[in-house]
Amino acid sequence: MARPKEFNESRALAAAMGLFWERGYEATAMRDLSAHTGVAISSLYATFGGKHDIYLAALAEYRRAEVAEMEQRLAAPGPLRGTLADIFARLIERLMADPARRGSFTLNAAVELGGQDQSVTAQLRQHFDEVAILLAGRLAAAQAAGEIAGRFPAADLAHFLLFGLYALAMMVKVYPDRPHLERAAAVTLAVLDN
């Protein structure tokens, strides 16, 4: 008879995600994951698979949370320009509140493994496409209503804004000061102006 698991899988995955987010994939070993999660290496293998499998599961969980948050923020009532300004402001707040300046787990994955690891690249492409589609839908409606400028196709504008958000997560590692990030956000959002 198999022994019941003596650890919480979601907590272990969250702890593994935190370690990968802080150190990156290459700098994290299975023994580090075991020590950080408090789960024996054999149990990690039995539950999640190897390091790569744990990383992919952590990335998928982070993506799920990021998409859910974006859906919630974009569903907020009111003008889209204000909604997007709020999304940028909340991101800046989160980035500045993190003393480790980890940025974004998805962005870090793209920088470290994007284009080199097929599974990670596929997840990231799916993620960025999903978020861009969410943004494009709201942008197209706002353009049709004359609320924001219509000089760029909504899909192109969505990708520009999406990568503007991720640029802040990269910038905070080099320029960890709020005014710098806020100016960059303002310039990015200016593309919406009529």
pLDDT digits (tens, 9 = 90+) for 40-83: 999 999 999 999 999 999 999 999 999 999 999 999 999 999 99
Enter the pTM of the model: 0.91
31 has pLDDT over 50: yes
Confidence of residue 194 (pLDDT cuts 50, 70, 90): confident
Confidence of residue 1 (pLDDT cuts 50, 70, 90): very low
Q: What is the 3-state secondary structure (H, E, C) of the chain?
A: CCCCCCCCHHHHHHHHHHHHHHHCCCCCCHHHHHHHHCCCHHHHHHHHCCHHHHHHHHHHHHHHHHHHHHHHHHCCCCCHHHHHHHHHHHHHHHHHHCCCCCCCHHHHHHHHHCCCCHHHHHHHHHHHHHHHHHHHHHHHHHHHCCCCCCCCCHHHHHHHHHHHHHHHHHHHHHCCCHHHHHHHHHHHHHHHCC
pLDDT digits (tens, 9 = 90+) for 145-178: 999 999 999 999 999 999 999 999 999 999 999 9
